[in-house]
Amino acid sequence: MIKKCLFPAAGYGTRFLPATKSMPKEMLPVVDTPLIQYGVEEALQAGLHEIAIVTGRGKRSLEDHFDISYELEHEISNTGKEKSLSGVRHLIDQCTFSYTRQIEMKGLGHAILTGRSLIGDEAFAVVLADDLCLNLEGDGVLAQMVKLYEQFRCSIVAIQEVPMEEVSRYGVIAGEALRDDIFRIERMVEKPNPEDAPSNLAIIGRYILTPDIFELIEQTEPGKSGEIQITDALMKQAQQGCVLAYKFKGRRFDCGSAEGYVQATNFCFENRHKTHPVTASPRLQAV
């Protein structure tokens, strides 16, 4: 079964300059927890304990975060502040972390391909940390998707409905509805103009991919801005077999934008920090 989760984290985070000039966007805190930690918490909740991270220049703090800091921990030992590290220490104890570096930024497809050496020949999940989703009513999005994979054994992308005027920011799908929340993909377009969009069902940053996706990415020509798009490779996969789109349960915040980041911070402060100031509620898992 699936046990690995890949985090593409080599991007520059230009929408959050100057904050991301020297700090990875994945380390931006939502209240007191970095975005990437939410993602790793969600992966572990879904049973994925092998964490693979594709990094780049200036991203060393990602590795440092998921490591023991002896000086800091000695300084705060036997104080109330020690509990503040319990969440990340749990992840360090329960997960293994491996890293590789993306030398050039050539799109999400290329970033996923760069992680091939960490994944091997098995199905895996992909999390884009700046898409933060919270489900107050049950399983996180990856846990929901893992259950679907156990049933269908094919690649799955998470989708949500967005306003038509916003579809140009996303990959957009159209397909056959298998049930109210599952679609078999027949068409997929990367960042279409609203008049060209096949629907308003937008892909967000959660995927489960079968290992043949790597060869399909290698065969994919660069698209817009010279980038290799994962949607193009997934479209090939859909034509050759089956790719499902899943309308997940929960709320999603685009923390790559200032508006979404502020909304996520306010939401987490009210629903996570106030009620569980040290560790996340078992029913409030991050995606």
Three-point CA angle 105, 110, 112, nearest 5°: 115
Q: Is residue 286 part of a domain?
A: no
Helix crossing, 35-45 with 141-152: angle to 10°?
A: 40
Cβ contact 230:109 at 8 Å: yes
Give 127's pLDDT tier (boundaries 50, 70, 90): very high
**What is the pLDDT, as a whole number, of residue 81?**
75
What's the domain range around 201? Answer: 2-270
Does any domain span residue 276? Answer: no
Containing 33, the helix (H) or strand (E) segment is strand 33-34
State residue 224's pLDDT score: 67
pLDDT at 231 over 60: yes
Whether the Cβ atoms of residue 278 and residue 87 lie closer than 8 Å to each other: yes
The mean per-residue pLDDT over the stretch 6-25 comes to 90
pLDDT for res 285: 42
The answer, as to whether pTM is greater than 0.75, is yes
The domain that holds 108 is classified in CATH as 3.90.550.10
Q: What is the mean pLDDT of residues 7-13?
A: 90
279 found inside a domain: no
For the segment 20-41, the average pLDDT, to the nearest whole number, is 93
How would residue 272 be classed by pLDDT, with cut points 50, 70 and 90?
confident
Token couple for 75: 């300084």
Average pLDDT over residues 120-127: 96
Residue 57: the pLDDT is 87
Query: For the chain, what is the domain count?
Result: 1
Residue 285 belongs to some domain of the structure? no
Asked if the structure places residue 157 within a domain, the reply is: yes
**pLDDT tens figures, 161-191:** 999 999 998 999 999 999 999 999 999 988 8
Average pLDDT of the chain?
90
What tokens appear for 229 in the block? 């798009």
In this predicted structure, what is the pLDDT of residue 275?
63
Is 275 contained in some domain? no
Say what the pLDDT of residue 274 is.
61
Task: Supply the pLDDT for residue 145.
Answer: 97
Render pLDDT for 52-83 as a digit per residue (tens, 0 to 9): 999 998 889 999 999 988 787 767 776 777 77
Rounded average pLDDT over 212-217: 96
pLDDT score, position 264: 95
Q: Look at residue 66 and tell me if it is in a domain.
A: yes
User: Does residue 287 form part of some domain?
Assistant: no
Per-residue pLDDT band for 17 (boundaries 50, 70, 90) equals: confident
Judged on CB neighbours under 10 Å (0-12, 13-18, 19+), 48 is buried
